[in-house]
Structure 1
Amino acid sequence: MSITRKIPMRTCVGCRSKKTKKELIRVLKRPDGEIQLDPTGRQNGRGAYICADPGCLAKARKNHGIERSLGCAIPDEVYDRLEEEMKQIGQ
């Protein structure tokens, strides 16, 4: 008898589609307030998930999805930095 494991599903804050946790990138708000990408998905802090697509980041920026999930305002510089980090991870 084989045991089936539950696959963790998360919702992208940009396009609102449900995908497996491994397909999405975690945006992390650390306890000190810094916002960064967490490619491992294991760092401490409040997290929101987003597709690895720059279009989803643009949608999340427009509809304030990340801000709503993390519970804080996010300056434009942070969105620009997240976009650059996302490009580096995608390579």
Structure 2
Amino acid sequence: MKPRKIPMRKDVVSNEMKPKKEMVRIVRSKEGVVAIDPTGKKSGRGAYVSLEPTAVEEAANKHILDKALNATVDDDFYSELLAYVKHQKARKELFGDKNGK
């Protein structure tokens, strides 16, 4: 059987191509609302960040998501994103790749 193709996405912080499962999508809707997109299917302008807390901290310090999404992202969103990434990383370590999306 042919091996399945792994979808790759570019991390806006490190500019590296990584598997989509190791990333979190941030989306800006037409109304300008910036949100975390755990499903990866919301409509709008999207940007991917690695599931590493250091990557999120770097994105917050340099305001990388502001530039990638062409919107103003406040510090509260960055702290929410950091909490989400820490939670997802802990899930992956606990349950492995099968159950932790």
Q: CA RMSD in A?
A: 2.0
* Local SS of the residue matching 1:47: strand
Structure-2 residue corresponding to 1:69: 68
The SS at the match of 1:13 is coil
- Structure 1 partner of 2:20: 21
- Distance, in Å, in 2 between the alignment partners of 1:10 and 1:27 is 12
Identity %: 33
2:11 maps to what in 1? 12
In structure 1, the partner of 2:58 is 59
Bigger RCO of structures 1 and 2 (CA < 8 A, at least 6 apart): 1
4-13 vs 48-57, which moves further: 4-13
- Cα deviation for residue 38 of structure 1 reads 1.1
Structure 2: state its 5+ residue gaps: 92-101
> Greater helix percent: which structure?
2
Aligned residues: 90
TM-score for the superposition, normalised by structure 2: 0.73
TM-score by length of 1: 0.80
Runs of at least 5 residues in structure 1 that lack an aligned partner in the other structure = none
